[in-house]
Amino acid sequence: MDNYSIDDIDYRILQYIIEDSRLTQKEIGEKIHMTGQAVGARIRRMRELEIIEGYTVRWNPQKLGQNIHAFITVFLSSNKVHPPFQKFAQEHVNVAELHRVSGEGCYWMRVYAKDQEELSTFLDLLLEFGNYRVNLGMGKLK
């Protein structure tokens, strides 16, 4: 693979910025005994290698009225519906994350919705493509 080029120092820096990407390079540098500039150069390199893909925030869906957090496994009914399903899921605002997973015609996705009704509406649309199994998130532990 192409994971040859990261060393232990890079890895420690990455842990710090996964935890809090607004730590300054200088602060990280103090933890690992380096100047901020050296840390900055390593971070830049990890971005170029696409180990770091981008910067984002952790946000709270509930505080935005997204009270439903559903983990859905989808079983497509035929091979023909893969393309339209992918398009559907990628464009639908309720779908926060989508993966191809092992198993016949299987996808996994994370869905946020305002309430049960919005989820129902979504599931109705989903039925066009195949069956599904839903698990509702009841609390994040990690």
Partner DNA sequence: CGAGAATCCTTTCCGGGTGAAAGCAGATCT
Partner DNA sequence: AGATCTGCTTTCACCCGGAAAGGATTCTCG
Residues forming contacts to DNA in the complex (CB under 7 A) are 9, 24-26, 29, 33-38, 40-44
Residue 83 engages a second copy in binding (rule: CB under 8 A) = no
Asked if 8 touches a second copy (CB under 8 A), the answer is: no
- 78 or 90: CB nearest a second copy: 90
From the list 12, 84, 103, 115, which residue makes contact with a second copy (rule: CB under 8 A)? Answer: 103
Q: How far is CA 13 from the centre of its chain?
A: 21
Encoded tokens for 115: 């309430």
- Of 10-69, binders to a second copy (CB under 8 A) are 11, 14, 17-22, 49-60, 62-65, 67, 69
Tokens for 110? 């994370």
Show the tokens assigned to 97: 């994350």
Report whether 33 contacts 51 (CB < 8 A): no
Distance in angstroms (rounded) separating the CA atoms of residues 36 and 30: 8
Residue 135 binds to a second copy (criterion: CB under 8 A): yes
Please name the helix (run of DSSP H) or strand (run of DSSP E) that holds residue 89, with its range, or none.
helix 82-91
Residue 93 found at the interface with a second copy (CB under 8 A): no
Quick check: helix, strand or coil at residue 142?
A: coil
Query: Rule CB under 8 A: which residues touch a second copy?
Result: 1-3, 6, 11, 14, 17-22, 49-60, 62-65, 67, 69, 71, 73, 86, 89-90, 95-103, 106-109, 135-142
